[in-house]
Structure 1
Amino acid sequence: MSMQTTDPIADLLTRIRNAKMVGKTEVRVPASNMKEVIAKKLAKSGYLADVKREAGKPRDTLVITINKAGENSTINEITRLSKPGRRVYVKADEIPRVKSGRGIVLVSTSQGVITGQEAVKARLGGELLLKVY
């Protein structure tokens, strides 16, 4: 029997946060296209080491490497901004800067999930998904 979550993105972030706190370098989560896109954006931005999708019988799994063995994690804080009970939408000129540009926000736009800087350059607004630094 599988457990249903109301917010799979928050579940992904919580699993990453918890694994980082106990010193694990890798975490496995049930896969979805949105989770994979978010994890790959975080990896591209340098906050995760690697993201792989493993095919499984009942369901695919995302294998997320937080950091290499012997290294420290680059994530200090990772927070969900828009929640199922309270969605947060912004225009392109309202996208927040995280820690004076040292962190990033991910925005779900009509062009897909992109970072806040990319959204400002493309003049796209959308739903604020998460912030990380």
Structure 2
Amino acid sequence: MALSDPLGDLLTRIRNGQHARKDSVVSPASKLRVRVLDVLAREGYIRGYTEAKLGNHDALRIELKYFEGQPAIHHLARVSKPGRRIYSGSRELPRVRNGLGITIVSTPKGVLSDAEARDQNVGGEVLAEVF
């Protein structure tokens, strides 16, 4: 069975893993997922990830991050969904919790956080928000 929203699946795996206090979660690999995980790692929301092989498929082992026993990610939500795509210009990118969180944006220059997209003056599809 094919996934209709692979990125939504990744975010749900991370959310569920942190709720269950797992050290790491495994997700199927894709280029978009790797780019999103790069942003999460750069911004300090996950410890990192490694690419692994599970049977015949590539997979990503995502190392979850906790601070004083609490998950580093309090809120992780998909914004642009397959049924309703959300696009934003560089000046209209949403701020999450007045700048305390990040928005992950798919731009022509790659997948970036909202701050990086503003610095490079590019907009794009608003993929997710993290706090």
Counterpart in 2 of 1:52? 50
What SS does the aligned partner of 1:108 have? strand
| Runs of 5+ unmatched residues, structure 2 | none
Aligned length: 131
Q: Is the 8 A contact 2:66 2:72 kept in 1?
A: no
| Runs of 5+ unmatched residues, structure 1 | none
Q: In the TM superposition, what are the counterparts of 1:1-133 in structure 2 within 5 Å?
A: 3-67=1-65, 71-133=69-131
Alignment deviations for residues 65-122 of structure 1 (CA, whole Å, 9 cap, x no partner)? 1126974321000000000000000111100111111100011000000010111111
Q: Which amino acid aligns with 2:116?
A: E
Q: With structure 1 as the length reference, what TM-score do the two structures score? A: 0.93
Cα distance change, pair 59–69 in 1 and its aligned pair in 2 (3 A) = farther
Name the % identity: 39
- Cα RMSD for the two superposed structures: 1.5
Q: With structure 2 as the length reference, what TM-score do the two structures score? A: 0.94
Flag as ranges the 4+ runs of structure 1 deviating above 6 A. Answer: none
